[in-house]
């Protein structure tokens, strides 16, 4: 069964109570082998980057067995607001 960007998005939203999730299939043929995700969750507050990534990895433990490449960016809601703000 092919993994889809939408399926990953829904699972991350549910498992991490995420306020924003963006998932891009970056496979050359859009075949579901490589993904890039941005996850914004209050569950990341007070956690270093490694712990945030472990939370994402734990949420997608089954899917990651079939994904070839996986990039992730994890932000708290406050960090997300700062990043979106005009410079």
Mean pLDDT of the chain: 93
**Cα–Cα distance list, 58 to 55, 62, 73, 81 (Å):** 5, 9, 15, 25
pTM score: 0.92
Token readout for 69 is 């490449």
User: Is the confidence at residue 44, as pLDDT, over 80?
Assistant: yes
Q: What was the pLDDT predicted at 87?
A: 62
């Amino acid at each position: 069964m092919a993994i889809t960007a939408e399926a990953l998005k829904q699972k991350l939203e549910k498992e991490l109570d995420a306020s924003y999730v963006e998932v891009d299939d970056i496979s050359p043929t859009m075949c579901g082998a490589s993904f890039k995700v941005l996850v914004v969750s209050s569950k990341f507050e007070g956690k270093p980057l490694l712990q945030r990534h472990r939370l994402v990895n734990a949420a997608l433990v089954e899917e990651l067995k079939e994904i070839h490449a996986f990039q992730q960016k994890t932000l708290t809601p406050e960090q997300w607001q700062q990043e979106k703000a005009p410079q």
